[in-house]
Amino acid sequence: MRRLVIPVALAAAAALALSGCGRADDTSTSSGSSSGGEKFPKNSLIGVSLPQKTSENWVLAENLFKTDLASAGFQADVQFANGGVGEQQNQIQSMVTKGAKVIVVGAIDGSQLGTQLKAAKDAGAVVIAYDRLVKNTDAVNYYVAYDNFKVGVLQGNALLEGLAKKKASGPYNIELFAGSPDDANAQVFFDGAMSVLQPKIDDGTLKVVSGQTKFNQVVTQGWKAENAQKRMDTLISANYSSAAIDGVLSPNDTLARAIITSVKAASKPVPVVTGQDSEVESVKSIMAGEQYSTINKDTRNLVKATIDMVKAIQAGQEPKITDTKQYNNGVKVVPANLLDPVIVTKDNAKEAYANDPTLSKLTG
């Protein structure tokens, strides 16, 4: 795995390839493209199909897409699929029928949109996978996201760092959580984190007391807080009646706060808990010394990169592509523009959020 020297990175890469989200050995900057798109009128319709409102960042993305696409001169059809996969399928088909020239898809389940995206391709639309890779179809042209494997690596390293600050040496008792199995990113986050954590599990530094270390054992369906809290309740009652829990790998902030709620309800000291998304309540928790870390993936930058891609396609130009090797969706390698995530703890929060008009107010 690129830039990693940890042996299990190779196993992680193999697992990713099998899951249709493979990453190769290196990152390259290229203008390579799979669309060959032609110039179209600037006031054309751009469709944006987003998943359920499971985090603040999705809500922010909705607002940004509406305002920024309009500011760029496009017509914007931005919709959430809160009713599930069937609703998203219908929304994308409707965008095709309306004549959308580009369809941006933040998939609920990236493996269930093949029919609708084929219709988009047949109609001449360009498809951009946003944040989550769309799998098992050749009808996706581009992928725009933060480097999701790196997100997991940062989370794994943050957990180790937080544990070392809490207690000079191990062994440390930990538990693992992953995201929703229908989200293509969930496995990538987990594999990134485990490329860091698995060697420490193997050498005894980390002890997963429940024994649940496989992705399918630790998933959180729908990224729902209540599912994470219920699982944490069960883990505590079954494994930590007398033992201390030192740390928890949480893939995002919503689940991190649910895990902390469960621990507090059990009258246990709050362990080192990771997160992602820089949600307001989690940044407050970090500054209060509870949640240990989050990941800053500024949605403003991700939406801007996506709209820049739309502008390039509209003008008949090649959009910015930073990777043409790593994201295999099971049918093709999708050209990607990857942004760099940033780990945030209490120590660097002020610097990390200096340019964020909301979060900068929380860091003192």
pLDDT in tens, 58-112: 999 999 999 999 999 999 999 999 989 999 999 999 999 999 999 999 999 999 9
Compute the half-sphere exposure of residue 249: CA atoms within 13 Å on the CB side of its CA. Answer: 36
pLDDT, position 282: 97
Model pTM? 0.81
- For residue 248, is it within any domain? yes
The arithmetic mean of pLDDT across residues 36-64, rounded, is 88
Determine the number of helices (DSSP H) and then strands (DSSP E) in the chain. Answer: 12, 12
Whether the CB-CB separation of 241 and 209 falls below 8 Å is answered with no
Answer yes or no: do 27 and 108 share one domain: yes
Does some domain include residue 335? yes
For residues 164 and 121, state if they share a domain: no
| Residue 19 banded pLDDT, cuts 50, 70, 90 | very low
Per-residue model confidence as pLDDT tens digits over 153-205: 999 999 999 999 999 898 999 999 999 999 989 999 999 999 999 999 999 99
The residue-averaged pLDDT of 313-340 equals 95
Single out the residue in 296, 317, 352 at which a domain terminates.
296
125 & 223 share domain: no
pLDDT at position 336, please? 97
- pLDDT band (50, 70, 90) for residue 150: very high
Note the pLDDT tens digit of each residue in 245-281.
999 999 999 999 999 999 999 999 999 999 999 999 9
195-244 pLDDT tens trace: 999 999 999 999 999 999 999 999 999 999 999 999 999 999 999 999 99
Q: Report the pLDDT value the prediction gives residue 14, as an integer from 0 to 100.
A: 37
Looking at the structure, tell me whether residues 112 and 73 fall in a common domain.
Answer: yes
Please indicate, yes or no, whether residues 161 and 108 belong to a single structural domain of this protein: no
What confidence score (pLDDT) does residue 208 get?
98
363 falls within a domain: no
Quote the pLDDT of residue 164: 97
Q: Would 358 be classed as within a structural domain?
A: no
Q: Quick check: is 208 in a domain?
A: yes
Give me the number of domains the chain comprises.
2
Is residue 4 scored above 80 in pLDDT? Answer: no
- Are 16 and 44 part of one and the same domain? yes
DSSP reduced 3-state for 201: helix
Distance CA 8, CA 198 (A): 7
Cα-based distances in Å from 26 to 3, 7, 19, 327, 333 = 8, 16, 19, 11, 14
Residue 354 lies in a domain: no
Q: Tell me, yes or no, whether 141 and 22 share the same domain.
A: yes
Read off the pLDDT of each residue in 20-47 and give the average, rounded to a whole number.
Answer: 58
Asked whether 47 and 104 are in contact (CB, 8 A), the reply is yes
Residue 1 pLDDT > 90:
no
Question: In this predicted structure, what is the pLDDT of residue 354?
Answer: 94
Predicted confidence at residue 335, as pLDDT, reads: 97
Domain final residue, candidates 234, 264, 296: 296
Domain of 176, in residue numbers = 148-296
- The pLDDT assigned to 38 comes to 61
Phi first, then psi, for residue 347 (nearest 5°) are -65, -35
**SS3 of residue 15 by DSSP:** helix
> Same structural domain for residues 152 and 96?
no
Residues 254 and 326 in one domain: no
Residues 309 and 278 occupy one common structural domain = no
* 36 and 100 together in one domain: yes
The domain that holds 159 is classified in CATH as 3.40.50.2300
In DSSP notation, 141-186 reads -EEEEE-HHHHHHHHHHHHHHHHHHHSSS--EEEEE----TTSHHH
Residue 285 sits in the same domain as residue 169? yes
Last residue of a domain, one of 264, 296, 328: 296
d(CA 18, CA 41): 40
